[in-house]
Structure 1
Amino acid sequence: MSGVKQKAEPGTLYVVATPLGNLRDITLRALDILESVDIIAAEDTRTTLKLLNAYQIKGPKLVPYHEHNEKEKASLLIEKLLAGQSVALVSEAGTPGISDPGAYLIRLAHEKGLKVRPVPGPSAISTALGVSGLNLKNGFIFLGFLPSKRGERQKLLQQLKNEKRPFLCYEAPHRLKAMLKDALKILGPRRIFVAREMTKKFEEYFWTDLPSLLEKVKDNNPRGEFTLIIEGAPEKLTRQINPEERLRVFLNQGLSLKEAVKLVAEETDISRKEIYPLALKIRDSLLKKP
């Protein structure tokens, strides 16, 4: 691809990634687009203005575009795009449309047949995963911000209890303690990777476990935005156990069919529904023995 300076094309929506904290993390192409578009739709105009001033960019009209005015402003921006103007969508930090406003506008632009172009760059997801050292060959799960309501949050964590892949989430400082309490209660003492204030002055990255992190923050007020990666459920060594052999042992010991099935399910992580027919077959074979 050419390294020539790029100018925004008419009637195009650009989804522009901006720095997480350090303003030097902006890409050259992002600067080209921000300088040449007609309109910049910004989640936080104050933050975006600091970025523009740092690189002496003047001219594009700044339009507030956040969760409270998203649908109203989206219609206005679509009108501008259809009229041939170019628009850059930026969030407060990172890549728009990922746990930030933007997805609605992007979807609407696609529906109207408008050109939507990415201008890739910083992302909290890839940044945190990249410095975690996790082996991601089997993938990971991204949860965004966990539900603020305790019941909904606990329900989600319960659904993830047996998930083997690591899961990543964002958390606000004022909700961190409550989230960690729920996670420890439901998931147990898992290891957790903490990325806080990424690329900013007081950034920190470290591995710990849920009990230790909860202990660390319980008596103080944590600051900054947190990106957390919780390890998936540990592989049980007992998964190597042959369920048929274990059922025979338990049934020979005089345990009831129900008790034997329950124990083997706990040892192997195989559902009782799957084990029950095998248990019936083994019990019948044992009863036929002289």
Structure 2
Amino acid sequence: MSKLYVVPTPIGNLKDMTERGIETLKECDLILAEDTRHTQKLLNYFDIKTKLISYHKFNEKSRSQEIIDEILYEEKNIALVTDAGTPCISDPGYELVKIARENNIEVIGLAGASAAIIALSIAGLDTSQFVFYGFLPRKKSELIESLKDIRHNHIKTFVVYESPKRIIKLVEAIKDVMPNASLCVCKELTKLHENSFFGGVELVLDKLLNHIDVERGEYVLVGYNNDFKEKESPEINVGIHGIIFDKIMQKEYSLKEAVNAIVEEGIASKNEAYKASLEVKKFIESFL
């Protein structure tokens, strides 16, 4: 049976394209590209003549089944690429790979560029465990909630992608939620003007604010959460009735013993405990 190939492409430097990736794109019957104009430049550079069609987030659901049919019934080998990096990692492809798996089509992944992994490798932060979040929400309130979830995660190293227009707002939000975080913000990875900003969140924010080209290029942010905090469980207000019922049913107290215990423990006054005990007694008797 024909196969689906997931082929990474360079995130900036064309020399990062692997020989196997080039061979696969040449030998496949069809290439699916996020932006055909962008990918055509890559194909021209490596003299790849394979037919190219669009496959992006706006048509992946409608186009996936027809692509699967071409693999199943027309025995075509198909390659999936994205504009830069590895498909399915904050880029289109998941729907197609899922359906391919469901139809027992072999999916072959090739080694290649991934901005998240490159950033982790140069961040100088603990990479024994990490969580990849992709792009966080744009709306400020939703962004803050997402960062709070990151703060509560016991895995302290996190990776996010961000656009140049929003990188300052992201770091400012991190400063509010995780003021002691350590960051490495990577800009234009593998490209001519590659840069990275490392340090505490305030220092990194200051460096970005003073960087002349801060709103150009793409960003990967690697952070280490020094503000880890367990998520607080919501308080449960049991009430006097519940406490009395628990003492009677679970601890086998008599009604009188339960009342006396509540008063001694300072949970309620004698009058409050007695009144509640009568209501609990009435409730229990209704089932007898």
1:163, 1:233 within 8 Å by CA — same for their partners in 2? no
In structure 1, the partner of 2:164 is: 173
Q: CA deviation at 1:31?
A: 0.7
Give the deviation of 1:133 after TM superposition. 2.4
CA distance in 1: counterparts of 2:105 and 2:152, whole angstroms: 42
State whether structure 2 residue 124 is matched by structure 1 residue 133: yes
Superposed CA deviations along residues 70-122 of structure 1, whole A, max 9, x for unmatched, are 11221221121112111100011111001000011100111111111111111
| CA pair 271-189 structure 1, distance change in 2 beyond 3 A | closer
Structure 1 CA distance for aligned equivalents of residues 45 and 19 of structure 2: 14
2:79 alignment partner AA: A
Question: Does the aligned pair in 1 maintain the 2:180–2:226 contact within 8 Å?
Answer: no
Q: Does residue 1:92 correspond to 2:83, yes or no? A: yes
Structure 1 counterpart of 2:225, one-letter code:
G
Whole-Å separation in 2 of the counterparts to 1:184 and 1:47: 36
Please report the TM-score for the alignment, with normalisation by the length of structure 1: 0.74
Structure with the greater alpha carbon radius of gyration: 2
Counterpart in the other structure of 1:211: 202
* 1:112 corresponds to: 103
Question: Which residue of 1 is the match for residue 282 of structure 2?
Answer: none
Question: What is the DSSP-based 3-state SS (H/G/I as helix, E as strand, rest coil) of the residue aligned with 1:31?
Answer: helix
Cα distance in structure 2, aligned partners of 1:38 and 1:46? 19
Cα offset, 1:28, TM superposition? 0.9
Kindly provide the CA deviation profile for residues 143-199 of structure 1, in whole angstroms up to 9, marking residues without a partner as x. Answer: 111111222211111122244521010001112122122111111142210111111
CA distance in 2, matches of 1:92, 1:272: 43
Counterparts of 2:87 and 2:13 in 1: how far apart (Å)?
Answer: 17
Name the residue aligned to 2:66: 76
Deviations 1:200-238 (A, max 9, x none): 111112313322333344476521110001112258xxx
Match of 2:56 in 1: 66
Matched, 1:222 2:187: no
1:155 to 145, 158, 178: 145
- Per-residue CA deviations over 1:41-82 (Å, capped at 9, x if unaligned) read 001212211111111111x11111111111122122112111
Structure 1 pair 270–26 and aligned structure 2 pair: CA distance change class (3 A): closer
| Contact 2:178-2:227 at 8 Å conserved across structures | no
Q: Distance in 1 between matches of 2:132 and 2:219?
A: 14
Mark the runs of 5 or more structure 1 residues left unpaired by the alignment.
1-9, 236-265, 274-283, 285-290
Check whether the contact 1:195–1:227 (CA below 8 A) recurs between aligned residues. Answer: yes
Residue 166 of structure 2 aligns to a residue whose secondary structure is: helix
Counterpart CA distance in 1 for 2:76 and 2:131 is: 37
The answer to whether the 8 A contact 1:162-1:233 is kept is no
Identity of aligned residues (%): 37
Give the structure 1 partner of residue 136 of structure 2: 146
Q: Distance in 2 between matches of 1:65 and 1:26?
A: 20
Partner of 2:186: 195
- CA displacement at 1:30 relative to structure 2: 0.6
- 1:210-289 map, 5 Å: 210-218=201-209, 222-233=215-226
| C-alpha contact 2:198 2:204 (8 A) present in aligned 1 | no
